[in-house]
Structure 1
Amino acid sequence: MQPTPPPLGSYVQSWTPGPVTAEDPLATGPAAALAALLDLPGPVAEAGDPLPPLWSWVYFPQWPAQRELGSDGHPRHGHFLPPVPDRQRMIAGGRCETTRPLRLGEPAERVTSLGTVAAKQGSTGELLFVTERREFRQRGHLCLVEEQDIVYRSGRGSARHTPVDADTAAPDSGEPWRLPLHPDPTLLFRFSALTANAHRIHYDTPYAQGEEGYPGPVVHGPLLVLLMLELARRHAPTRQVRSLSYRLRRPVFAGERVLASGTPSDSGAGLRIATRREERHATAEVMFR
Protein backbone atom coordinates (compact mmCIF):
# COMPACT_ATOMS: atom_id res chain seq x y z
CA MET A 1 0.00 0.00 0.00
CA GLN A 2 1.39 3.36 -1.05
CA PRO A 3 1.87 5.82 1.82
CA THR A 4 -0.31 8.92 1.71
CA PRO A 5 1.78 11.84 0.44
CA PRO A 6 2.00 14.88 2.71
CA PRO A 7 -0.29 17.80 1.84
CA LEU A 8 1.17 20.35 -0.56
CA GLY A 9 0.82 23.09 2.01
CA SER A 10 3.40 21.35 4.21
CA TYR A 11 6.11 21.94 1.61
CA VAL A 12 5.68 25.72 1.65
CA GLN A 13 5.10 26.46 5.33
CA SER A 14 8.54 28.06 5.64
CA TRP A 15 8.91 29.12 1.98
CA THR A 16 9.24 32.90 1.95
CA PRO A 17 11.30 34.05 -1.05
CA GLY A 18 12.12 37.74 -0.99
CA PRO A 19 11.54 40.27 -3.79
CA VAL A 20 13.69 40.20 -6.92
CA THR A 21 14.53 43.28 -9.01
CA ALA A 22 15.25 43.13 -12.74
CA GLU A 23 15.99 45.81 -15.32
CA ASP A 24 15.33 45.99 -19.06
CA PRO A 25 16.06 48.76 -21.59
CA LEU A 26 12.73 48.07 -23.29
CA ALA A 27 14.27 48.08 -26.74
CA THR A 28 11.97 48.09 -29.75
CA GLY A 29 13.15 44.67 -31.00
CA PRO A 30 10.97 42.34 -28.85
CA ALA A 31 7.83 44.40 -29.54
CA ALA A 32 8.55 44.28 -33.27
CA ALA A 33 9.09 40.52 -33.03
CA LEU A 34 5.74 40.02 -31.28
CA ALA A 35 4.02 42.16 -33.92
CA ALA A 36 5.53 39.95 -36.62
CA LEU A 37 4.40 36.82 -34.78
CA LEU A 38 0.84 38.18 -34.71
CA ASP A 39 1.03 38.92 -38.46
CA LEU A 40 0.62 42.64 -37.94
CA PRO A 41 1.59 44.85 -40.92
CA GLY A 42 4.37 46.54 -38.93
CA PRO A 43 5.55 47.43 -35.43
CA VAL A 44 2.77 48.68 -33.15
CA ALA A 45 5.11 51.02 -31.28
CA GLU A 46 8.39 52.83 -31.81
CA ALA A 47 10.80 54.31 -29.26
CA GLY A 48 8.88 56.66 -26.98
CA ASP A 49 5.48 55.10 -27.75
CA PRO A 50 3.41 53.27 -25.11
CA LEU A 51 3.75 49.50 -24.99
CA PRO A 52 0.41 47.66 -25.47
CA PRO A 53 -1.02 46.00 -22.34
CA LEU A 54 0.91 42.91 -21.17
CA TRP A 55 3.42 43.11 -24.02
CA SER A 56 5.85 43.39 -21.12
CA TRP A 57 5.70 39.56 -21.19
CA VAL A 58 8.26 39.57 -24.00
CA TYR A 59 10.66 41.65 -21.90
CA PHE A 60 12.76 40.86 -18.81
CA PRO A 61 13.63 37.37 -20.18
CA GLN A 62 15.12 34.76 -17.87
CA TRP A 63 17.50 32.25 -19.49
CA PRO A 64 18.74 29.63 -17.02
CA ALA A 65 21.71 27.47 -17.97
CA GLN A 66 20.77 24.36 -19.94
CA ARG A 67 21.95 22.11 -17.10
CA GLU A 68 19.38 23.75 -14.81
CA LEU A 69 16.40 22.53 -16.86
CA GLY A 70 14.39 19.44 -16.05
CA SER A 71 13.30 16.78 -18.52
CA ASP A 72 10.14 18.77 -19.28
CA GLY A 73 12.13 21.89 -20.20
CA HIS A 74 11.14 23.82 -17.09
CA PRO A 75 13.81 24.98 -14.61
CA ARG A 76 14.34 22.49 -11.80
CA HIS A 77 14.82 25.30 -9.32
CA GLY A 78 13.86 28.95 -9.24
CA HIS A 79 13.41 31.77 -6.75
CA PHE A 80 9.60 31.70 -7.02
CA LEU A 81 9.18 27.98 -7.80
CA PRO A 82 7.68 26.31 -4.70
CA PRO A 83 9.59 23.29 -3.29
CA VAL A 84 6.93 20.80 -4.39
CA PRO A 85 8.13 17.32 -5.51
CA ASP A 86 7.69 16.39 -9.20
CA ARG A 87 6.32 19.88 -9.77
CA GLN A 88 3.95 20.61 -12.68
CA ARG A 89 2.99 24.21 -13.49
CA MET A 90 0.22 26.07 -15.32
CA ILE A 91 -1.00 29.65 -15.42
CA ALA A 92 -4.58 30.06 -14.19
CA GLY A 93 -5.20 33.78 -14.53
CA GLY A 94 -4.13 37.24 -13.53
CA ARG A 95 -4.82 40.93 -13.19
CA CYS A 96 -3.13 44.19 -14.16
CA GLU A 97 -3.69 47.79 -13.02
CA THR A 98 -2.10 50.52 -15.16
CA THR A 99 -1.34 54.01 -13.90
CA ARG A 100 0.70 54.96 -16.94
CA PRO A 101 1.77 52.68 -19.80
CA LEU A 102 5.36 51.58 -20.14
CA ARG A 103 7.16 53.36 -22.97
CA LEU A 104 9.55 51.75 -25.39
CA GLY A 105 13.16 52.89 -25.37
CA GLU A 106 13.09 53.92 -21.70
CA PRO A 107 14.81 51.68 -19.12
CA ALA A 108 12.32 49.94 -16.86
CA GLU A 109 12.55 48.23 -13.50
CA ARG A 110 10.48 45.23 -12.46
CA VAL A 111 10.18 44.13 -8.84
CA THR A 112 8.69 40.66 -8.40
CA SER A 113 7.47 39.46 -5.02
CA LEU A 114 5.50 36.58 -3.63
CA GLY A 115 1.80 37.18 -3.08
CA THR A 116 -0.62 34.64 -1.67
CA VAL A 117 0.03 30.90 -1.42
CA ALA A 118 -2.89 28.51 -0.87
CA ALA A 119 -3.44 24.78 -1.21
CA LYS A 120 -6.84 23.69 -2.54
CA GLN A 121 -8.50 20.43 -3.46
CA GLY A 122 -9.41 20.22 -7.15
CA SER A 123 -11.28 17.63 -9.19
CA THR A 124 -7.95 16.01 -10.16
CA GLY A 125 -6.30 16.20 -6.75
CA GLU A 126 -4.60 18.74 -4.51
CA LEU A 127 -3.37 21.96 -6.11
CA LEU A 128 -1.12 24.75 -4.88
CA PHE A 129 -2.07 28.28 -5.97
CA VAL A 130 0.77 30.79 -5.97
CA THR A 131 0.34 34.47 -6.86
CA GLU A 132 3.32 36.48 -8.11
CA ARG A 133 3.14 40.26 -7.91
CA ARG A 134 5.14 42.45 -10.31
CA GLU A 135 5.59 46.20 -10.08
CA PHE A 136 6.96 48.06 -13.11
CA ARG A 137 8.61 51.48 -12.86
CA GLN A 138 10.14 53.95 -15.27
CA ARG A 139 12.00 57.09 -14.19
CA GLY A 140 11.09 56.24 -10.60
CA HIS A 141 7.34 56.27 -11.27
CA LEU A 142 5.12 53.25 -10.68
CA CYS A 143 3.56 52.47 -14.07
CA LEU A 144 1.66 49.24 -13.59
CA VAL A 145 1.11 46.40 -11.14
CA GLU A 146 0.52 42.88 -12.41
CA GLU A 147 -0.49 39.77 -10.47
CA GLN A 148 -0.30 36.32 -12.01
CA ASP A 149 -1.93 33.23 -10.49
CA ILE A 150 0.03 30.03 -11.07
CA VAL A 151 -1.21 26.55 -10.20
CA TYR A 152 1.14 23.73 -9.22
CA ARG A 153 0.47 20.05 -8.77
CA SER A 154 2.74 17.28 -7.54
CA GLY A 155 3.07 14.68 -10.28
CA ARG A 156 1.39 14.51 -13.64
CA GLY A 157 -2.36 14.50 -14.00
CA SER A 158 -4.20 12.11 -16.29
CA ALA A 159 -4.79 14.48 -19.18
CA ARG A 160 -7.59 13.31 -21.48
CA HIS A 161 -8.73 15.63 -24.22
CA THR A 162 -10.88 15.51 -27.34
CA PRO A 163 -8.72 15.03 -30.46
CA VAL A 164 -7.99 18.20 -32.39
CA ASP A 165 -10.20 18.90 -35.40
CA ALA A 166 -8.19 21.20 -37.65
CA ASP A 167 -10.88 21.50 -40.33
CA THR A 168 -13.75 22.83 -38.21
CA ALA A 169 -13.94 26.54 -37.52
CA ALA A 170 -14.62 27.85 -34.04
CA PRO A 171 -18.25 28.86 -33.45
CA ASP A 172 -19.00 32.49 -34.24
CA SER A 173 -21.11 34.12 -31.55
CA GLY A 174 -21.76 37.17 -33.72
CA GLU A 175 -20.00 39.51 -31.32
CA PRO A 176 -18.84 42.77 -32.94
CA TRP A 177 -15.14 42.19 -32.20
CA ARG A 178 -13.69 39.05 -33.83
CA LEU A 179 -10.18 37.84 -34.58
CA PRO A 180 -9.40 34.30 -35.86
CA LEU A 181 -6.16 32.42 -35.30
CA HIS A 182 -4.94 29.04 -36.50
CA PRO A 183 -1.91 28.34 -34.28
CA ASP A 184 0.55 25.79 -35.61
CA PRO A 185 3.76 24.36 -34.08
CA THR A 186 5.86 27.02 -35.82
CA LEU A 187 3.89 29.82 -34.15
CA LEU A 188 4.20 28.15 -30.76
CA PHE A 189 7.93 27.59 -31.22
CA ARG A 190 8.45 31.27 -32.06
CA PHE A 191 6.41 32.42 -29.07
CA SER A 192 8.37 30.06 -26.80
CA ALA A 193 11.62 31.58 -28.08
CA LEU A 194 10.32 35.13 -27.69
CA THR A 195 9.28 34.55 -24.08
CA ALA A 196 12.24 32.32 -23.08
CA ASN A 197 9.85 29.44 -22.36
CA ALA A 198 11.47 26.03 -22.86
CA HIS A 199 8.50 23.94 -21.66
CA ARG A 200 8.32 21.06 -24.12
CA ILE A 201 4.52 20.85 -24.20
CA HIS A 202 4.53 23.91 -26.48
CA TYR A 203 6.77 22.64 -29.30
CA ASP A 204 7.68 18.95 -28.81
CA THR A 205 4.78 16.89 -30.19
CA PRO A 206 6.07 13.42 -29.14
CA TYR A 207 6.65 14.71 -25.62
CA ALA A 208 3.27 16.46 -25.38
CA GLN A 209 1.48 13.32 -26.55
CA GLY A 210 3.54 10.58 -24.94
CA GLU A 211 4.51 12.14 -21.61
CA GLU A 212 1.69 14.60 -20.91
CA GLY A 213 -1.26 12.91 -22.65
CA TYR A 214 -2.21 15.87 -24.84
CA PRO A 215 -3.37 15.44 -28.46
CA GLY A 216 -0.64 17.84 -29.59
CA PRO A 217 1.42 20.89 -28.54
CA VAL A 218 -0.38 23.21 -26.13
CA VAL A 219 -0.97 26.85 -27.06
CA HIS A 220 0.59 29.14 -24.45
CA GLY A 221 -1.92 30.68 -22.08
CA PRO A 222 -0.24 34.12 -22.36
CA LEU A 223 -0.57 33.92 -26.16
CA LEU A 224 -4.34 33.45 -25.77
CA VAL A 225 -4.47 36.46 -23.45
CA LEU A 226 -2.50 38.63 -25.89
CA LEU A 227 -4.81 37.52 -28.70
CA MET A 228 -7.85 38.68 -26.71
CA LEU A 229 -6.16 41.98 -25.91
CA GLU A 230 -5.50 42.48 -29.63
CA LEU A 231 -9.26 42.94 -29.98
CA ALA A 232 -9.18 45.97 -27.69
CA ARG A 233 -6.02 47.37 -29.26
CA ARG A 234 -7.38 47.09 -32.81
CA HIS A 235 -10.96 48.19 -32.20
CA ALA A 236 -10.40 50.85 -29.51
CA PRO A 237 -6.93 52.21 -30.32
CA THR A 238 -7.54 55.57 -28.67
CA ARG A 239 -8.73 54.11 -25.37
CA GLN A 240 -6.17 53.45 -22.64
CA VAL A 241 -6.62 50.24 -20.69
CA ARG A 242 -6.95 51.08 -17.00
CA SER A 243 -7.27 47.56 -15.68
CA LEU A 244 -7.75 44.03 -16.95
CA SER A 245 -8.25 40.56 -15.59
CA TYR A 246 -8.12 37.18 -17.34
CA ARG A 247 -8.78 33.55 -16.63
CA LEU A 248 -7.42 30.51 -18.48
CA ARG A 249 -10.00 27.73 -18.25
CA ARG A 250 -9.13 24.99 -20.77
CA PRO A 251 -6.06 24.30 -22.95
CA VAL A 252 -6.03 24.96 -26.69
CA PHE A 253 -3.88 22.82 -28.99
CA ALA A 254 -1.85 23.43 -32.11
CA GLY A 255 -3.95 22.90 -35.23
CA GLU A 256 -7.22 24.03 -33.69
CA ARG A 257 -9.00 26.99 -35.22
CA VAL A 258 -9.38 29.67 -32.57
CA LEU A 259 -11.68 32.68 -32.47
CA ALA A 260 -11.12 35.59 -30.14
CA SER A 261 -14.28 37.66 -29.80
CA GLY A 262 -15.63 40.39 -27.61
CA THR A 263 -18.39 42.86 -26.89
CA PRO A 264 -17.48 46.44 -25.99
CA SER A 265 -19.32 48.68 -23.54
CA ASP A 266 -18.95 52.33 -22.59
CA SER A 267 -16.38 51.48 -19.91
CA GLY A 268 -14.67 48.36 -21.22
CA ALA A 269 -15.10 45.03 -22.95
CA GLY A 270 -15.69 41.36 -22.24
CA LEU A 271 -13.47 39.03 -24.25
CA ARG A 272 -13.20 35.28 -24.79
CA ILE A 273 -11.45 32.52 -26.73
CA ALA A 274 -13.49 29.79 -28.46
CA THR A 275 -12.76 26.60 -30.39
CA ARG A 276 -15.06 23.89 -31.69
CA ARG A 277 -14.62 22.02 -28.38
CA GLU A 278 -15.22 24.88 -25.99
CA GLU A 279 -16.62 28.41 -26.21
CA ARG A 280 -14.81 29.73 -23.14
CA HIS A 281 -11.25 28.42 -23.13
CA ALA A 282 -10.12 31.79 -21.83
CA THR A 283 -11.93 34.96 -20.79
CA ALA A 284 -10.85 38.51 -20.06
CA GLU A 285 -12.38 41.73 -18.80
CA VAL A 286 -10.89 45.05 -19.85
CA MET A 287 -11.69 48.45 -18.35
CA PHE A 288 -10.85 51.65 -20.23
CA ARG A 289 -10.02 55.11 -18.95
Structure 2
Amino acid sequence: MNEASPALCIDHLRGWIGREDIGLDIVGEDLARKYHATMDFPGEPPGRGEIAPQLIHFCLAQPAAPTAALGSDGHPSRGGFLPPVPLPRRMWAGGALTFHADLRVGDATRRISRIEDVVLKQGRSGTLCFVTVSHRLEANGALVLEERQDIVYRDATMPGSAAPTTPAREAGTHRRAKEAGAPMLFRYSALTFNGHRVHYDRPYASEVEGYPGLVVHGPLQAAWLCNYAAEIRGAPPKRFSFRGLSPLFDHDGFALHANEAEGGLALWTARQDGAICVSAQAHWG
Protein backbone atom coordinates (compact mmCIF):
# COMPACT_ATOMS: atom_id res chain seq x y z
CA MET A 1 0.00 0.00 0.00
CA ASN A 2 1.17 3.57 -0.60
CA GLU A 3 1.47 6.15 2.13
CA ALA A 4 -1.79 7.90 1.23
CA SER A 5 -3.92 4.77 1.06
CA PRO A 6 -4.49 4.17 4.81
CA ALA A 7 -6.23 7.56 5.07
CA LEU A 8 -8.50 6.84 2.10
CA CYS A 9 -11.98 6.00 3.38
CA ILE A 10 -14.23 5.35 0.39
CA ASP A 11 -17.42 5.51 2.49
CA HIS A 12 -16.45 9.01 3.66
CA LEU A 13 -15.63 10.13 0.11
CA ARG A 14 -18.90 8.75 -1.25
CA GLY A 15 -20.64 11.11 1.13
CA TRP A 16 -19.88 13.80 -1.47
CA ILE A 17 -22.22 12.15 -4.00
CA GLY A 18 -25.10 14.51 -4.71
CA ARG A 19 -23.22 17.70 -3.82
CA GLU A 20 -23.78 20.52 -6.28
CA ASP A 21 -21.95 23.65 -7.34
CA ILE A 22 -23.19 26.54 -9.51
CA GLY A 23 -21.02 28.89 -11.52
CA LEU A 24 -21.91 31.97 -13.56
CA ASP A 25 -19.89 33.47 -16.41
CA ILE A 26 -20.13 35.30 -19.72
CA VAL A 27 -18.65 34.21 -23.04
CA GLY A 28 -16.80 37.48 -23.42
CA GLU A 29 -15.37 38.88 -26.63
CA ASP A 30 -11.95 39.08 -24.98
CA LEU A 31 -12.10 35.38 -24.06
CA ALA A 32 -13.13 34.48 -27.61
CA ARG A 33 -10.24 36.54 -29.01
CA LYS A 34 -7.64 34.98 -26.70
CA TYR A 35 -8.99 31.44 -27.15
CA HIS A 36 -8.90 31.88 -30.93
CA ALA A 37 -5.27 33.03 -30.75
CA THR A 38 -4.20 30.28 -28.33
CA MET A 39 -5.73 27.54 -30.48
CA ASP A 40 -4.25 29.00 -33.72
CA PHE A 41 -7.62 28.98 -35.44
CA PRO A 42 -7.59 30.57 -38.91
CA GLY A 43 -9.37 33.80 -39.76
CA GLU A 44 -10.86 36.32 -37.38
CA PRO A 45 -12.18 35.41 -33.92
CA PRO A 46 -15.97 35.28 -33.53
CA GLY A 47 -17.59 38.55 -32.52
CA ARG A 48 -20.60 39.25 -30.32
CA GLY A 49 -23.56 37.09 -31.30
CA GLU A 50 -21.47 34.71 -33.39
CA ILE A 51 -20.98 31.01 -32.59
CA ALA A 52 -18.12 30.25 -30.20
CA PRO A 53 -15.89 27.19 -30.74
CA GLN A 54 -16.99 23.96 -29.10
CA LEU A 55 -15.26 23.22 -25.76
CA ILE A 56 -14.52 26.89 -25.09
CA HIS A 57 -16.80 26.30 -22.10
CA PHE A 58 -13.83 24.61 -20.36
CA CYS A 59 -12.70 28.22 -19.78
CA LEU A 60 -15.96 29.34 -18.15
CA ALA A 61 -16.88 29.61 -14.47
CA GLN A 62 -13.77 27.85 -13.23
CA PRO A 63 -13.30 27.68 -9.43
CA ALA A 64 -11.15 30.57 -8.19
CA ALA A 65 -9.45 29.43 -4.99
CA PRO A 66 -7.16 32.00 -3.35
CA THR A 67 -3.51 31.48 -4.23
CA ALA A 68 -2.78 30.83 -0.56
CA ALA A 69 -5.28 27.96 -0.65
CA LEU A 70 -3.51 26.08 -3.46
CA GLY A 71 -1.70 22.83 -2.77
CA SER A 72 1.94 22.19 -3.68
CA ASP A 73 0.85 20.88 -7.09
CA GLY A 74 -1.06 24.07 -7.94
CA HIS A 75 -4.51 22.53 -7.53
CA PRO A 76 -6.88 23.92 -4.87
CA SER A 77 -6.45 22.20 -1.53
CA ARG A 78 -8.62 19.10 -1.12
CA GLY A 79 -12.20 19.41 0.04
CA GLY A 80 -15.03 21.75 -0.92
CA PHE A 81 -17.12 20.68 -3.90
CA LEU A 82 -14.83 17.80 -4.91
CA PRO A 83 -14.25 15.09 -2.30
CA PRO A 84 -10.93 15.32 -0.37
CA VAL A 85 -9.28 12.30 -1.98
CA PRO A 86 -5.90 11.92 -0.22
CA LEU A 87 -4.08 10.45 -3.23
CA PRO A 88 -1.49 12.99 -4.43
CA ARG A 89 -1.98 13.02 -8.22
CA ARG A 90 -5.16 14.32 -9.86
CA MET A 91 -5.93 14.16 -13.61
CA TRP A 92 -8.84 14.79 -15.94
CA ALA A 93 -9.23 11.26 -17.35
CA GLY A 94 -11.94 11.93 -19.95
CA GLY A 95 -15.56 12.80 -20.46
CA ALA A 96 -18.60 12.86 -22.73
CA LEU A 97 -20.63 15.79 -24.03
CA THR A 98 -24.01 16.25 -25.68
CA PHE A 99 -24.53 19.58 -27.43
CA HIS A 100 -28.10 20.87 -27.48
CA ALA A 101 -27.47 24.34 -28.92
CA ASP A 102 -24.67 26.67 -29.96
CA LEU A 103 -22.82 28.76 -27.41
CA ARG A 104 -22.42 32.31 -28.70
CA VAL A 105 -20.10 35.16 -27.84
CA GLY A 106 -21.86 37.41 -25.36
CA ASP A 107 -24.00 34.64 -23.82
CA ALA A 108 -24.57 34.72 -20.07
CA THR A 109 -23.98 31.18 -18.84
CA ARG A 110 -24.92 29.16 -15.77
CA ARG A 111 -23.14 25.91 -14.94
CA ILE A 112 -24.74 23.40 -12.56
CA SER A 113 -22.30 20.69 -11.46
CA ARG A 114 -23.06 17.57 -9.43
CA ILE A 115 -20.94 14.76 -7.96
CA GLU A 116 -22.45 11.58 -9.47
CA ASP A 117 -20.13 8.84 -8.23
CA VAL A 118 -16.91 8.08 -6.34
CA VAL A 119 -15.27 4.69 -6.96
CA LEU A 120 -12.06 3.10 -5.69
CA LYS A 121 -10.05 0.72 -7.91
CA GLN A 122 -6.65 -0.92 -8.04
CA GLY A 123 -4.62 -0.36 -11.21
CA ARG A 124 -1.13 -1.16 -12.48
CA SER A 125 0.16 2.05 -10.87
CA GLY A 126 -1.55 1.38 -7.52
CA THR A 127 -4.66 2.82 -5.92
CA LEU A 128 -7.01 4.80 -8.17
CA CYS A 129 -10.03 6.85 -7.13
CA PHE A 130 -12.47 7.88 -9.86
CA VAL A 131 -14.82 10.82 -9.34
CA THR A 132 -17.61 11.35 -11.87
CA VAL A 133 -19.03 14.87 -12.17
CA SER A 134 -21.98 15.94 -14.31
CA HIS A 135 -22.22 19.46 -15.70
CA ARG A 136 -25.23 21.19 -17.19
CA LEU A 137 -24.50 24.44 -19.02
CA GLU A 138 -27.25 26.94 -19.73
CA ALA A 139 -26.95 30.08 -21.85
CA ASN A 140 -29.48 32.86 -21.37
CA GLY A 141 -31.68 30.37 -19.51
CA ALA A 142 -31.67 27.66 -22.22
CA LEU A 143 -29.82 24.34 -22.09
CA VAL A 144 -26.70 24.37 -24.28
CA LEU A 145 -24.82 21.23 -23.29
CA GLU A 146 -24.64 18.34 -20.85
CA GLU A 147 -21.31 16.86 -19.84
CA ARG A 148 -19.87 13.98 -17.88
CA GLN A 149 -16.39 14.64 -16.48
CA ASP A 150 -14.18 11.79 -15.27
CA ILE A 151 -11.50 12.71 -12.74
CA VAL A 152 -8.93 10.20 -11.47
CA TYR A 153 -6.72 10.46 -8.41
CA ARG A 154 -3.69 8.15 -8.13
CA ASP A 155 -0.50 7.47 -6.22
CA ALA A 156 2.62 9.51 -6.88
CA THR A 157 5.03 8.45 -9.61
CA MET A 158 8.67 8.28 -8.62
CA PRO A 159 10.94 10.62 -10.61
CA GLY A 160 12.59 8.66 -13.40
CA SER A 161 9.75 6.16 -13.72
CA ALA A 162 8.68 5.32 -17.26
CA ALA A 163 5.47 7.01 -18.40
CA PRO A 164 2.65 4.64 -19.38
CA THR A 165 2.42 3.96 -23.09
CA THR A 166 -0.19 2.53 -25.44
CA PRO A 167 0.20 0.24 -28.46
CA ALA A 168 1.10 1.99 -31.71
CA ARG A 169 -1.65 2.62 -34.24
CA GLU A 170 -1.39 3.30 -37.94
CA ALA A 171 -2.08 6.84 -39.13
CA GLY A 172 -5.68 7.78 -39.70
CA THR A 173 -7.32 8.56 -43.03
CA HIS A 174 -7.23 12.17 -41.90
CA ARG A 175 -4.00 13.38 -40.27
CA ARG A 176 -2.67 16.77 -39.20
CA ALA A 177 0.69 17.39 -37.56
CA LYS A 178 0.57 19.55 -34.42
CA GLU A 179 2.91 21.22 -31.95
CA ALA A 180 2.28 22.14 -28.33
CA GLY A 181 5.13 24.21 -26.95
CA ALA A 182 5.41 25.77 -23.52
CA PRO A 183 3.78 29.12 -24.54
CA MET A 184 0.62 27.34 -25.74
CA LEU A 185 0.40 25.23 -22.58
CA PHE A 186 0.87 28.30 -20.39
CA ARG A 187 -1.80 30.22 -22.31
CA TYR A 188 -4.30 27.36 -22.09
CA SER A 189 -3.65 27.00 -18.37
CA ALA A 190 -4.32 30.70 -17.96
CA LEU A 191 -7.55 30.61 -19.99
CA THR A 192 -8.88 27.66 -17.99
CA PHE A 193 -7.52 29.04 -14.68
CA ASN A 194 -5.69 25.74 -14.21
CA GLY A 195 -2.86 26.05 -11.70
CA HIS A 196 -1.56 22.47 -12.06
CA ARG A 197 2.19 22.97 -12.31
CA VAL A 198 2.87 20.02 -14.64
CA HIS A 199 1.66 22.18 -17.54
CA TYR A 200 4.03 25.17 -17.10
CA ASP A 201 6.65 24.45 -14.38
CA ARG A 202 9.27 22.18 -15.96
CA PRO A 203 11.38 21.54 -12.82
CA TYR A 204 8.25 20.59 -10.86
CA ALA A 205 6.95 18.36 -13.68
CA SER A 206 10.22 16.44 -13.91
CA GLU A 207 11.63 16.50 -10.39
CA VAL A 208 8.40 16.09 -8.38
CA GLU A 209 5.87 14.32 -10.63
CA GLY A 210 8.48 12.39 -12.60
CA TYR A 211 7.55 13.46 -16.13
CA PRO A 212 10.12 13.96 -18.93
CA GLY A 213 8.57 17.29 -19.97
CA LEU A 214 5.60 19.59 -19.60
CA VAL A 215 2.30 17.71 -19.84
CA VAL A 216 -0.12 18.66 -22.64
CA HIS A 217 -3.60 19.06 -21.13
CA GLY A 218 -6.08 16.30 -21.93
CA PRO A 219 -8.93 18.80 -22.43
CA LEU A 220 -6.74 20.80 -24.83
CA GLN A 221 -6.21 17.66 -26.92
CA ALA A 222 -9.96 17.02 -26.74
CA ALA A 223 -10.62 20.55 -28.01
CA TRP A 224 -8.28 20.03 -30.96
CA LEU A 225 -9.99 16.75 -31.84
CA CYS A 226 -13.52 18.11 -31.48
CA ASN A 227 -12.79 21.08 -33.73
CA TYR A 228 -10.92 18.83 -36.16
CA ALA A 229 -14.02 16.64 -36.39
CA ALA A 230 -16.16 19.71 -37.14
CA GLU A 231 -13.72 20.76 -39.86
CA ILE A 232 -13.69 17.32 -41.49
CA ARG A 233 -17.50 16.98 -41.55
CA GLY A 234 -18.27 20.65 -42.12
CA ALA A 235 -20.50 20.83 -39.04
CA PRO A 236 -19.91 20.57 -35.28
CA PRO A 237 -20.72 17.17 -33.75
CA LYS A 238 -23.82 16.67 -31.62
CA ARG A 239 -22.06 14.26 -29.28
CA PHE A 240 -18.38 14.01 -28.38
CA SER A 241 -16.49 11.82 -25.92
CA PHE A 242 -12.81 11.47 -25.11
CA ARG A 243 -10.48 9.44 -22.91
CA GLY A 244 -6.86 9.96 -21.88
CA LEU A 245 -4.68 6.90 -22.52
CA SER A 246 -1.08 8.07 -22.12
CA PRO A 247 0.64 11.41 -21.47
CA LEU A 248 1.77 13.75 -24.22
CA PHE A 249 4.66 16.15 -23.58
CA ASP A 250 5.61 19.51 -25.00
CA HIS A 251 8.71 18.14 -26.77
CA ASP A 252 6.82 15.29 -28.48
CA GLY A 253 6.15 15.31 -32.19
CA PHE A 254 2.51 14.32 -32.62
CA ALA A 255 -0.53 14.58 -34.86
CA LEU A 256 -4.32 14.58 -34.87
CA HIS A 257 -5.86 11.53 -36.57
CA ALA A 258 -9.37 10.59 -37.67
CA ASN A 259 -11.06 7.62 -39.34
CA GLU A 260 -14.63 7.13 -40.44
CA ALA A 261 -16.51 5.03 -37.88
CA GLU A 262 -20.06 3.78 -37.56
CA GLY A 263 -22.24 6.81 -37.00
CA GLY A 264 -19.38 9.30 -36.91
CA LEU A 265 -15.62 9.66 -36.58
CA ALA A 266 -13.02 7.94 -34.44
CA LEU A 267 -10.30 10.45 -33.54
CA TRP A 268 -7.07 10.38 -31.58
CA THR A 269 -3.85 12.19 -30.84
CA ALA A 270 -0.70 10.11 -31.30
CA ARG A 271 3.02 10.61 -30.92
CA GLN A 272 5.35 10.01 -33.86
CA ASP A 273 5.81 6.40 -32.77
CA GLY A 274 2.05 5.90 -33.14
CA ALA A 275 1.29 5.63 -29.42
CA ILE A 276 -2.19 7.04 -28.71
CA CYS A 277 -2.48 9.79 -26.09
CA VAL A 278 -6.17 10.77 -26.21
CA SER A 279 -8.87 8.87 -28.08
CA ALA A 280 -12.25 10.37 -28.98
CA GLN A 281 -15.54 9.69 -30.73
CA ALA A 282 -17.65 12.28 -32.55
CA HIS A 283 -21.25 11.73 -33.68
CA TRP A 284 -23.69 13.88 -35.64
CA GLY A 285 -26.87 11.82 -35.23
TM beyond 0.5: yes
1:17 Cα deviation from its structure 2 partner: 5.8
| 1:18-97 aligned within 5 A | 18-97=19-98
Aligned residue in 2 for 1:283 = 279
SS of equivalent to 1:187? helix
Aligned residue in 2 for 1:244 = 240
Question: Is contact 1:8-1:126 (8 Å) kept?
Answer: no
Cα distance in 2 between the residues matched to 1:60 and 1:84: 23
1:258 Cα deviation from its structure 2 partner: 1.3
Aligned residue in 1 for 2:201 = 204
C-alpha distance 266-118 of structure 1, shift in aligned 2 (>3 A)? closer
Are 2:284 and 1:273 aligned? no
SS of equivalent to 1:136? strand
Cα distance in 2 between the residues matched to 1:114 and 1:10: 14
Cα distance in 1 between the residues matched to 2:131 and 2:189: 22
SS of equivalent to 2:51? coil
SS of equivalent to 2:143? strand
Aligned residue in 2 for 1:218 = 215
Question: Is contact 2:226-2:240 (8 Å) kept?
Answer: no
C-alpha distance 120-254 of structure 1, shift in aligned 2 (>3 A)? same
1:139-169 Cα shifts (integer Å, max 9, x gaps):
322121011100012x41336236xxxxxxx
C-alpha distance 227-64 of structure 1, shift in aligned 2 (>3 A)? same
Aligned pairs, number = 279
Aligned residue in 2 for 1:166 = none
Question: Is contact 1:8-1:119 (8 Å) kept?
Answer: no
Are 2:258 and 1:262 aligned? yes
Q: Which amino acid aligns with 2:158?
A: S
SS of equivalent to 2:180? coil
Cα distance in 2 between the residues matched to 1:208 and 1:8: 28
Q: Which amino acid aligns with 2:242?
A: Y
C-alpha distance 85-132 of structure 1, shift in aligned 2 (>3 A)? same
1:277 Cα deviation from its structure 2 partner: 4.3
SS of equivalent to 1:20? strand
Q: Which amino acid aligns with 2:198?
A: I
Question: Is contact 2:85-2:129 (8 Å) kept?
Answer: no
1:207 Cα deviation from its structure 2 partner: 0.8
Aligned residue in 1 for 2:158 = 158
C-alpha distance 235-207 of structure 1, shift in aligned 2 (>3 A)? same
Gaps of 5+ in 2: none
Cα distance in 2 between the residues matched to 1:79 and 1:101: 31
Are 2:188 and 1:194 aligned? no
Cα distance in 2 between the residues matched to 1:280 and 1:2: 29
C-alpha distance 283-19 of structure 1, shift in aligned 2 (>3 A)? same
Question: Is contact 2:17-2:117 (8 Å) kept?
Answer: no
1:195-253 Cα shifts (integer Å, max 9, x gaps):
1111111111111111111111111111111111121132223x241111111000001
Cα distance in 2 between the residues matched to 1:125 and 1:175: 33
1:35 Cα deviation from its structure 2 partner: 1.5
1:242-267 Cα shifts (integer Å, max 9, x gaps):
11111100000111111001023584
SS of equivalent to 1:241? coil
Are 2:114 and 1:113 aligned? yes
C-alpha distance 270-16 of structure 1, shift in aligned 2 (>3 A)? closer
C-alpha distance 104-78 of structure 1, shift in aligned 2 (>3 A)? farther
Q: Which amino acid aligns with 2:111?
A: R
Q: Which amino acid aligns with 1:182?
A: E
Cα distance in 1 between the residues matched to 2:226 and 2:257: 10
1:114 Cα deviation from its structure 2 partner: 0.8
Q: State, as a whole percentage, how many aligned pairs show the same letter.
A: 33
1:86 Cα deviation from its structure 2 partner: 4.8
Cα distance in 1 between the residues matched to 2:33 and 2:43: 7
C-alpha distance 172-17 of structure 1, shift in aligned 2 (>3 A)? closer
Gaps of 5+ in 1: 163-170
Cα distance in 2 between the residues matched to 1:181 and 1:63: 31
SS of equivalent to 1:222? helix
What root-mean-square deviation, in Å, do the aligned CA atoms of Structure 1 and Structure 2 show?
2.4
SS of equivalent to 2:6? coil
